[in-house]
Amino acid sequence: MANRAICFLICLVFCGKAFAQSHSNEIGIQTDDDSYLAQGADKYYTAGNFAHFHHALSVKDTTHLRNKVLGFEFGQKLYTPHSGSINYTGVDDPRYIDRPFAAYLYVGSNLNMLFKDESNLKLGAQIGIVGPAALGRPIQEFVHRAFGLYKPSGWEYQIDNDFEVNLSAEYNRLLARASWADVSLTSYADLGNGFTGAGVGPMFRLGDFNQLFNSLSTQSTAIKSRSFTPLNQRELFFYYKPQLNVVAYDATIQGSLFNSRKPNSMEITLDPERFIFSNRLGVGYSGKRFVVDAAVLLYTKAVKEMREADQWGSITILYRFD
Protein backbone atom coordinates (compact mmCIF):
# COMPACT_ATOMS: atom_id res chain seq x y z
CA MET A 1 0.00 0.00 0.00
CA ALA A 2 2.79 2.39 0.90
CA ASN A 3 4.71 1.57 -2.31
CA ARG A 4 1.66 2.24 -4.49
CA ALA A 5 1.09 5.59 -2.79
CA ILE A 6 4.72 6.59 -3.31
CA CYS A 7 4.65 5.58 -7.00
CA PHE A 8 1.46 7.56 -7.55
CA LEU A 9 3.01 10.58 -5.85
CA ILE A 10 6.17 10.45 -7.98
CA CYS A 11 4.15 10.22 -11.19
CA LEU A 12 1.89 13.07 -10.17
CA VAL A 13 4.66 15.40 -9.07
CA PHE A 14 7.33 14.80 -11.68
CA CYS A 15 5.17 13.99 -14.66
CA GLY A 16 2.55 16.68 -14.15
CA LYS A 17 2.67 19.32 -16.91
CA ALA A 18 -0.29 21.47 -15.88
CA PHE A 19 0.24 25.00 -14.63
CA ALA A 20 -1.33 26.67 -11.63
CA GLN A 21 -4.48 28.72 -12.08
CA SER A 22 -6.89 30.46 -9.75
CA HIS A 23 -9.35 28.05 -8.15
CA SER A 24 -11.38 29.01 -5.12
CA ASN A 25 -12.10 25.50 -3.79
CA GLU A 26 -10.03 22.48 -2.78
CA ILE A 27 -11.02 19.08 -1.46
CA GLY A 28 -8.78 16.22 -0.53
CA ILE A 29 -7.31 13.81 1.98
CA GLN A 30 -4.29 13.48 4.21
CA THR A 31 -2.93 10.19 5.47
CA ASP A 32 -0.22 9.73 8.11
CA ASP A 33 1.36 6.35 8.79
CA ASP A 34 4.64 5.04 10.14
CA SER A 35 4.52 2.25 7.53
CA TYR A 36 5.25 4.83 4.81
CA LEU A 37 8.86 4.87 6.01
CA ALA A 38 9.18 1.14 5.15
CA GLN A 39 10.83 0.30 8.47
CA GLY A 40 8.33 -2.32 9.62
CA ALA A 41 7.31 -0.03 12.50
CA ASP A 42 3.86 0.25 14.07
CA LYS A 43 4.22 2.45 17.13
CA TYR A 44 3.38 5.67 18.97
CA TYR A 45 1.60 8.01 16.51
CA THR A 46 0.81 5.06 14.30
CA ALA A 47 -1.86 6.43 11.91
CA GLY A 48 -3.94 9.45 11.06
CA ASN A 49 -6.59 10.01 8.38
CA PHE A 50 -8.14 13.35 7.50
CA ALA A 51 -10.51 14.98 5.02
CA HIS A 52 -10.04 18.65 4.06
CA PHE A 53 -12.10 21.30 2.29
CA HIS A 54 -10.80 24.82 1.58
CA HIS A 55 -12.81 27.73 0.19
CA ALA A 56 -11.18 31.03 -0.75
CA LEU A 57 -13.06 34.19 0.27
CA SER A 58 -13.18 37.52 -1.53
CA VAL A 59 -10.55 40.09 -0.58
CA LYS A 60 -10.78 43.82 -1.27
CA ASP A 61 -7.76 45.48 -2.92
CA THR A 62 -7.91 48.27 -0.36
CA THR A 63 -7.06 45.96 2.55
CA HIS A 64 -3.73 44.57 3.67
CA LEU A 65 -4.98 41.08 2.82
CA ARG A 66 -3.93 39.29 -0.35
CA ASN A 67 -5.88 36.06 0.27
CA LYS A 68 -8.34 34.61 2.79
CA VAL A 69 -9.23 30.93 3.05
CA LEU A 70 -11.93 29.22 5.08
CA GLY A 71 -11.14 25.59 5.93
CA PHE A 72 -13.02 22.59 7.31
CA GLU A 73 -11.55 19.26 8.39
CA PHE A 74 -12.52 15.91 9.84
CA GLY A 75 -9.96 13.51 11.20
CA GLN A 76 -8.85 10.67 13.43
CA LYS A 77 -5.48 10.01 15.07
CA LEU A 78 -4.35 6.70 16.60
CA TYR A 79 -1.66 6.25 19.26
CA THR A 80 -0.21 3.03 20.68
CA PRO A 81 2.83 1.96 22.69
CA HIS A 82 5.98 0.63 20.96
CA SER A 83 3.71 -2.01 19.44
CA GLY A 84 -0.03 -2.21 18.89
CA SER A 85 0.07 -5.49 20.80
CA ILE A 86 1.32 -5.86 24.38
CA ASN A 87 0.71 -9.62 24.37
CA TYR A 88 4.24 -11.00 24.53
CA THR A 89 3.69 -13.81 27.06
CA GLY A 90 0.20 -15.06 26.17
CA VAL A 91 -1.59 -12.34 28.15
CA ASP A 92 -1.70 -8.55 27.85
CA ASP A 93 1.00 -7.04 30.03
CA PRO A 94 0.54 -3.30 30.83
CA ARG A 95 4.23 -3.04 31.74
CA TYR A 96 4.90 -2.77 27.99
CA ILE A 97 2.83 0.42 27.67
CA ASP A 98 5.54 3.03 27.14
CA ARG A 99 3.04 5.43 25.53
CA PRO A 100 -0.71 5.25 26.27
CA PHE A 101 -3.19 3.75 23.84
CA ALA A 102 -5.40 6.60 22.62
CA ALA A 103 -7.55 7.78 19.73
CA TYR A 104 -8.68 11.30 18.90
CA LEU A 105 -11.69 11.89 16.61
CA TYR A 106 -12.65 15.47 15.73
CA VAL A 107 -14.17 18.04 13.39
CA GLY A 108 -12.74 21.50 12.99
CA SER A 109 -12.75 24.76 11.09
CA ASN A 110 -10.19 27.50 10.51
CA LEU A 111 -9.82 30.93 8.93
CA ASN A 112 -6.53 31.67 7.20
CA MET A 113 -5.78 35.38 6.69
CA LEU A 114 -2.82 35.99 4.38
CA PHE A 115 -1.27 39.43 4.09
CA LYS A 116 0.57 41.30 1.34
CA ASP A 117 3.81 41.32 3.36
CA GLU A 118 3.81 37.49 3.20
CA SER A 119 2.75 36.92 6.76
CA ASN A 120 -0.36 35.02 7.72
CA LEU A 121 -2.53 34.35 10.76
CA LYS A 122 -4.56 31.16 10.83
CA LEU A 123 -7.15 30.74 13.60
CA GLY A 124 -8.90 27.43 14.21
CA ALA A 125 -11.21 25.51 16.53
CA GLN A 126 -11.86 21.80 16.98
CA ILE A 127 -14.40 19.75 18.89
CA GLY A 128 -13.77 16.07 19.36
CA ILE A 129 -13.39 13.16 21.70
CA VAL A 130 -10.51 11.11 23.09
CA GLY A 131 -11.26 7.57 24.23
CA PRO A 132 -13.15 4.44 23.09
CA ALA A 133 -15.81 6.62 21.44
CA ALA A 134 -13.09 7.85 19.05
CA LEU A 135 -13.14 4.32 17.52
CA GLY A 136 -9.40 3.72 17.61
CA ARG A 137 -9.64 0.05 18.56
CA PRO A 138 -12.13 -1.10 15.89
CA ILE A 139 -10.39 0.91 13.17
CA GLN A 140 -6.97 -0.55 13.95
CA GLU A 141 -8.39 -4.07 14.28
CA PHE A 142 -10.19 -3.74 10.93
CA VAL A 143 -7.08 -2.48 9.10
CA HIS A 144 -4.84 -5.18 10.57
CA ARG A 145 -7.38 -7.89 9.74
CA ALA A 146 -7.84 -6.57 6.18
CA PHE A 147 -4.10 -6.55 5.46
CA GLY A 148 -3.22 -9.74 7.31
CA LEU A 149 -1.23 -8.01 10.05
CA TYR A 150 -0.89 -9.01 13.71
CA LYS A 151 -3.89 -8.78 16.03
CA PRO A 152 -3.79 -5.60 18.17
CA SER A 153 -4.13 -6.02 21.93
CA GLY A 154 -4.04 -3.73 24.92
CA TRP A 155 -6.73 -1.24 23.96
CA GLU A 156 -8.57 -2.01 27.22
CA TYR A 157 -5.95 0.26 28.84
CA GLN A 158 -6.62 3.20 26.50
CA ILE A 159 -7.37 6.76 27.59
CA ASP A 160 -10.98 7.07 28.86
CA ASN A 161 -13.67 8.98 26.97
CA ASP A 162 -13.31 12.74 27.28
CA PHE A 163 -14.94 15.53 25.24
CA GLU A 164 -12.42 18.03 23.84
CA VAL A 165 -12.62 21.67 22.81
CA ASN A 166 -9.40 23.03 21.35
CA LEU A 167 -8.40 26.40 19.88
CA SER A 168 -5.36 27.04 17.71
CA ALA A 169 -3.43 29.92 16.15
CA GLU A 170 -0.66 29.75 13.56
CA TYR A 171 1.59 32.63 12.46
CA ASN A 172 4.12 32.57 9.62
CA ARG A 173 6.26 35.33 8.13
CA LEU A 174 8.79 35.58 5.31
CA LEU A 175 12.31 36.45 6.55
CA ALA A 176 14.49 36.37 3.43
CA ARG A 177 14.33 35.19 -0.19
CA ALA A 178 16.55 34.51 -3.19
CA SER A 179 15.29 33.38 -6.59
CA TRP A 180 15.53 29.67 -5.72
CA ALA A 181 15.45 29.66 -1.90
CA ASP A 182 13.76 31.39 1.00
CA VAL A 183 13.39 31.15 4.78
CA SER A 184 10.40 32.04 6.91
CA LEU A 185 9.40 32.03 10.56
CA THR A 186 6.76 29.48 11.58
CA SER A 187 4.92 29.33 14.89
CA TYR A 188 1.76 27.98 16.47
CA ALA A 189 -0.11 27.91 19.79
CA ASP A 190 -2.82 25.50 21.00
CA LEU A 191 -5.20 26.04 23.91
CA GLY A 192 -7.83 23.59 25.13
CA ASN A 193 -8.66 20.74 27.46
CA GLY A 194 -7.21 18.34 24.89
CA PHE A 195 -4.04 20.04 23.72
CA THR A 196 -2.21 23.06 25.10
CA GLY A 197 1.23 24.07 23.91
CA ALA A 198 3.24 26.09 21.42
CA GLY A 199 6.04 25.78 18.89
CA VAL A 200 8.42 27.94 16.85
CA GLY A 201 11.09 27.43 14.21
CA PRO A 202 12.25 28.31 10.68
CA MET A 203 11.15 26.83 7.37
CA PHE A 204 13.56 26.58 4.43
CA ARG A 205 12.34 26.12 0.84
CA LEU A 206 14.43 25.21 -2.22
CA GLY A 207 13.07 25.13 -5.76
CA ASP A 208 10.10 26.69 -7.53
CA PHE A 209 7.75 28.15 -4.93
CA ASN A 210 5.22 30.96 -4.70
CA GLN A 211 4.55 33.78 -2.29
CA LEU A 212 3.34 32.69 1.13
CA PHE A 213 -0.11 34.19 0.50
CA ASN A 214 -0.71 31.67 -2.31
CA SER A 215 1.33 28.59 -1.54
CA LEU A 216 0.87 25.07 -0.22
CA SER A 217 3.38 26.04 2.52
CA THR A 218 0.62 28.07 4.20
CA GLN A 219 -2.35 25.99 2.97
CA SER A 220 -3.37 28.85 0.67
CA THR A 221 -3.31 27.43 -2.86
CA ALA A 222 -7.06 28.12 -3.01
CA ILE A 223 -7.60 31.74 -4.05
CA LYS A 224 -10.62 33.67 -5.30
CA SER A 225 -8.75 35.72 -7.88
CA ARG A 226 -5.16 36.75 -8.54
CA SER A 227 -4.35 40.46 -8.61
CA PHE A 228 -0.62 39.74 -8.55
CA THR A 229 1.97 37.85 -10.56
CA PRO A 230 3.01 34.56 -8.94
CA LEU A 231 6.70 33.78 -8.66
CA ASN A 232 6.12 30.55 -10.59
CA GLN A 233 3.29 29.11 -12.66
CA ARG A 234 3.53 25.94 -10.59
CA GLU A 235 5.23 24.98 -7.33
CA LEU A 236 7.74 22.17 -7.04
CA PHE A 237 10.12 22.51 -4.11
CA PHE A 238 11.81 20.77 -1.22
CA TYR A 239 11.43 22.10 2.31
CA TYR A 240 12.86 21.58 5.77
CA LYS A 241 11.06 22.68 8.95
CA PRO A 242 12.79 22.15 12.32
CA GLN A 243 10.76 23.21 15.35
CA LEU A 244 10.96 23.44 19.12
CA ASN A 245 7.64 22.46 20.75
CA VAL A 246 6.48 23.09 24.31
CA VAL A 247 3.81 20.74 25.70
CA ALA A 248 1.63 22.01 28.55
CA TYR A 249 -1.09 19.36 28.22
CA ASP A 250 -1.83 16.38 25.97
CA ALA A 251 -5.02 14.41 26.64
CA THR A 252 -3.83 11.45 24.55
CA ILE A 253 -1.07 10.97 27.13
CA GLN A 254 -2.50 12.40 30.37
CA GLY A 255 -6.22 11.69 30.00
CA SER A 256 -8.92 14.11 31.12
CA LEU A 257 -7.87 17.55 32.33
CA PHE A 258 -10.88 18.06 34.62
CA ASN A 259 -12.56 14.73 35.37
CA SER A 260 -11.32 12.34 38.03
CA ARG A 261 -10.61 8.72 37.15
CA LYS A 262 -13.77 6.78 36.32
CA PRO A 263 -14.81 3.84 38.57
CA ASN A 264 -13.38 0.50 37.42
CA SER A 265 -11.28 2.29 34.80
CA MET A 266 -8.26 0.44 33.40
CA GLU A 267 -6.90 3.63 31.83
CA ILE A 268 -3.11 4.00 31.90
CA THR A 269 -1.75 7.55 31.67
CA LEU A 270 1.75 8.99 31.70
CA ASP A 271 3.38 12.42 31.92
CA PRO A 272 4.55 14.09 28.70
CA GLU A 273 7.96 15.51 28.02
CA ARG A 274 7.61 19.29 28.19
CA PHE A 275 10.03 20.05 25.35
CA ILE A 276 9.93 18.14 22.07
CA PHE A 277 12.10 18.81 19.03
CA SER A 278 10.66 17.96 15.62
CA ASN A 279 11.90 17.88 12.04
CA ARG A 280 9.75 17.87 8.92
CA LEU A 281 11.35 17.22 5.53
CA GLY A 282 9.22 17.15 2.42
CA VAL A 283 8.48 17.91 -1.19
CA GLY A 284 5.56 20.05 -2.33
CA TYR A 285 3.82 20.38 -5.69
CA SER A 286 0.89 22.50 -6.84
CA GLY A 287 -0.31 22.56 -10.42
CA LYS A 288 -3.48 23.30 -12.35
CA ARG A 289 -5.71 20.88 -10.45
CA PHE A 290 -3.66 18.93 -7.93
CA VAL A 291 -1.77 19.90 -4.78
CA VAL A 292 0.55 17.31 -3.24
CA ASP A 293 2.62 17.42 -0.07
CA ALA A 294 4.74 14.41 0.95
CA ALA A 295 6.83 14.58 4.10
CA VAL A 296 8.83 12.64 6.67
CA LEU A 297 8.36 13.72 10.31
CA LEU A 298 10.85 12.98 13.08
CA TYR A 299 9.96 13.72 16.72
CA THR A 300 11.90 13.26 19.93
CA LYS A 301 10.22 11.21 22.67
CA ALA A 302 6.75 12.39 23.75
CA VAL A 303 7.18 10.68 27.15
CA LYS A 304 10.41 9.64 28.83
CA GLU A 305 9.27 5.99 29.07
CA MET A 306 9.23 5.60 25.27
CA ARG A 307 11.86 3.17 24.01
CA GLU A 308 12.47 5.15 20.83
CA ALA A 309 11.75 8.47 19.21
CA ASP A 310 8.67 8.83 16.99
CA GLN A 311 8.65 9.05 13.19
CA TRP A 312 6.15 8.70 10.38
CA GLY A 313 5.32 9.70 6.82
CA SER A 314 2.55 12.03 5.68
CA ILE A 315 0.91 12.41 2.26
CA THR A 316 -1.65 15.11 1.41
CA ILE A 317 -3.46 15.23 -1.95
CA LEU A 318 -5.92 18.02 -2.79
CA TYR A 319 -8.01 18.60 -5.91
CA ARG A 320 -8.67 22.20 -6.94
CA PHE A 321 -11.89 23.36 -8.59
CA ASP A 322 -14.03 26.47 -9.07
Q: At a CB cut-off of 8 Å and minimum separation 6, what does 3 contact?
A: 38
User: What span, in angstroms and rounded, lies between the C-alpha atoms of 148 and 303?
Assistant: 30
pLDDT tens-digit map of 146-190? 999 999 999 999 999 999 999 999 999 999 999 999 999 999 999
Asked whether the beta carbons of 55 and 219 are under 8 A apart, the reply is no
What is residue 20's predicted lDDT score, i.e. its pLDDT? 47
Between CA 144 and CA 150, with CA 147 as vertex, the angle to 5 degrees is 40
Asked whether residue 64 is assigned to any structural domain, the reply reads: yes
Q: Is the pLDDT of residue 42 over 70?
A: yes
Q: Is 281 or 12 the better-scoring residue by pLDDT?
A: 281
The pTM assigned to this predicted structure is 0.91
Q: Which of 34, 116, 107 is nearest to 68 (CA)?
A: 116
Mean pLDDT of 68-72: 98
In DSSP terms, which residues pair with 113 in a beta bridge?
68, 121
Its domain, for residue 41, covers 2-9+19-321
Cα-Cα-Cα-Cα dihedral sign, residues 15, 67, 74, 100: positive
**Res 41 pLDDT > 80:** no
Q: What is the pLDDT of residue 183?
A: 98
Please tell me the distance from the alpha carbon of residue 16 to that of residue 266, in angstroms, as a whole number.
51
Query: Is 14 part of a structural domain of the chain?
Result: no
Confidence class for position 14, pLDDT limits 50, 70, 90: very low
Lowest mean pLDDT among 73-82, 132-141, 185-194, 262-271: 262-271
Please indicate, yes or no, if residue 161 is contained in any of the structural domains. yes
Count of domains for the chain: 1
Could you give the maximum distance between any two Cα atoms of the chain, in Å?
69
Lowest mean pLDDT among 18-22, 107-111, 230-234: 18-22
Asked if the structure places residue 89 within a domain, the reply is yes
The three state secondary structure string of the chain is CHHHHHHHHHHHHHHCCCCCCCCCEEEEEEEEEHHHHCCCCCCEEEEEEEEEEEEECCCCCCCCEEEEEEEEEEEEEEEECCCCECECCCCECHHHCCCCCEEEEEEEEEEEEEECCCEEEEEEEEEEEECHHHCHHHHHHHHHHHCCCCCCECHHHCCCCEEEEEEEEEEEEEEEECCCEEEEEEEEEEEECCEEEEEEEEEEEEEECCCHHHCHHHCCCCCCCCCCCCCCCCEEEEEEEEEEEEEEEEHHHHCCCCCCCCCCCCCCCCCCCCEEEEEEEEEEEECCCEEEEEEEEEECCCCCCCCCCEEEEEEEEEEEEC
| CATH number, domain with residue 176 | 2.40.128.140
Residue 205 lies in a domain: yes
* CB 168, CB 111: distance < 8 Å: no
Closest CA to 135 of 164, 93, 104: 104
Q: Considering the domain boundaries, does residue 156 fall inside one?
A: yes
pLDDT > 50? residue 78: yes
CA distance 111 to 123: 5
Confirm if 112 and 205 have CB atoms less than 8 A apart.
Answer: no
Residue 164 CA, distance from chain mean position: 18
